[in-house]
């Protein structure tokens, strides 16, 4: 395999990933985002998810959106109340400030709508490339590569890319990965990375890709 994947190689790889993901619980941010959520809710729930466990992301997002589901209603409550609603999400006080500021910016500049381009999203407080790309993909179906720790680690481990940061991994994957897979790769590699290709002692003996993986950086496996 490696970076010399053919179209069929990619198709087979993603077919296998989907079969793996179907057997495990999908990460909460995706569960929440795919259930009739607005682009605003997808953006905010993704922000809440940063440095936060999945169950907390779900409960915090649910509490917030039950009380204030859009930028208009967020603008009517103060940051202390937002903090209480999203607690105990990681860095909840800073996130509350960012959520309040984002809501104001969306109302002032975009008529309350989440912008559909990367540059505008990256100008919002607390929004990095991971959050922006995930929002574009899940909200609008715009091909965008969301690179988290799993999407950074696994392509490097398998030998597709040789990069030091998630941002550089994103740029490297753009060059080799067909655009049709950009949106789903994050969800699928998260499931794969949480169950088989784990950060420490990956289950290489159970991996369907064990004969095509370079196992870069793997010192001990199961």
Residue 125, CA atoms < 13 Å, CB-side half-sphere = 13
Rounded to an integer, what distance in angstroms lies between the CA atom of residue 96 and that of residue 102? Answer: 10
- At 6 the pLDDT is 85
Residue at 155 is within a domain: yes
Q: Are residues 136 and 149 in the same domain?
A: no
Q: Are residues 46 and 17 in the same domain?
A: no
> DSSP states of 2-66 as a string?
GGG--HHHHHHHHHHHHHHHTTSPPPHHHHHHTTT--HHHHHHHHHHHTTS-HHHHHHHHHHHHH
Q: Are residues 150 and 187 in the same domain?
A: yes
Nearest CA-CA partner of 84 in 59, 64, 101, 105: 64
Domain that includes residue 11, residue range: 2-25+145-206
Does the pLDDT at position 16 exceed 60?
Answer: yes
**Ramachandran bin of 92, using left for φ above 0, alpha for ψ from -120 to 50, beta for the remaining angles:** alpha
Q: Are residues 136 and 150 in the same domain?
A: no
Residue at 185 is within a domain: yes
Q: Are residues 46 and 130 in the same domain?
A: yes
- At 54 the pLDDT is 84
- At 5 the pLDDT is 80
pLDDT tens-digit map of 190-203: 999 999 999 999 99
If pLDDT is split at 50, 70 and 90, which confidence band does 97 have?
very high
pLDDT tens-digit map of 116-170: 999 999 999 999 999 999 999 999 999 999 999 999 999 999 999 999 999 999 9
Does the pLDDT at position 172 exceed 80?
Answer: yes
Q: What is the CATH number of the domain that holds 129?
A: 1.10.340.30
Are 102 and 43 in contact by the 8 Å Cβ rule? The answer is yes
pLDDT tens-digit map of 22-41: 988 766 565 555 567 899 99
Q: Are residues 106 and 61 in the same domain?
A: yes
pLDDT tens-digit map of 50-89: 999 888 998 999 999 999 999 999 999 999 999 999 999 9
Residue at 126 is within a domain: yes
Q: Are residues 188 and 95 in the same domain?
A: no
> DSSP states of 83-141 as a string?
HHHHTTSTTHHHHHHHHHHHHHHHHHHHTTPPPSSHHHHHTSTT--HHHHHHHHHHHH-
Residue at 218 is within a domain: no
Residue at 89 is within a domain: yes
Residue at 222 is within a domain: no
Q: Are residues 44 and 110 in the same domain?
A: yes
Q: What is the CATH number of the domain that holds 6?
A: 1.10.1670.10
- At 55 the pLDDT is 87
What total of structural domains would you count in the chain? 2
Are 112 and 71 in contact by the 8 Å Cβ rule? The answer is yes
Q: Are residues 54 and 135 in the same domain?
A: yes
- At 36 the pLDDT is 77
If pLDDT is split at 50, 70 and 90, which confidence band does 206 have?
very high
Q: Are residues 119 and 169 in the same domain?
A: no
Rounded to an integer, what distance in angstroms lies between the CA atom of residue 205 and that of residue 222? Answer: 6
Q: Are residues 78 and 149 in the same domain?
A: no
- At 197 the pLDDT is 97
Comparison of pLDDT for 29 and 14, the residue scoring more: 14
Average pLDDT over the chain, rounded to whole?
92
Residue at 216 is within a domain: no
Q: Are residues 110 and 178 in the same domain?
A: no
């Amino acid at each position: 395999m490696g970076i010399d994947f053919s179209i069929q190689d990619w198709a087979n790889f993603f077919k296998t990933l989907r079969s793996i993901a179907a057997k495990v619980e999908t990460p909460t941010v995706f569960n929440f985002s795919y259930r009739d959520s607005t682009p605003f809710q997808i953006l905010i729930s993704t922000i809440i998810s940063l440095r936060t466990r999945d169950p907390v992301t779900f409960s915090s997002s649910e509490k917030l959106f039950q009380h204030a589901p859009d930028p208009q209603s967020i603008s009517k409550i103060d940051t202390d109340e937002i903090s209480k609603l999203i607690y105990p999400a990681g860095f909840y006080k800073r996130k509350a400030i960012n959520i309040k500021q984002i809501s104001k910016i969306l109302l002032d500049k975009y008529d309350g709508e989440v912008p559909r381009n990367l540059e505008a999203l990256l100008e919002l407080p607390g929004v990095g490339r991971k959050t922006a790309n995930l929002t574009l993909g899940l909200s609008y179906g715009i091909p965008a590569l969301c690179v988290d720790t799993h999407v950074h680690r696994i392509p490097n481990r398998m030998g597709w890319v040789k990069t030091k940061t998630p941002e550089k991994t994103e740029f490297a994957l753009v060059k080799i990965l067909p655009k049709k897979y950009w949106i789903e790769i994050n969800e699928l590699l998260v499931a794969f990375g949480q169950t088989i290709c784990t950060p420490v002692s990956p289950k290489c003996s159970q991996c369907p890709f064990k004969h095509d993986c370079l196992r870069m950086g793997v010192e001990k496996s199961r």
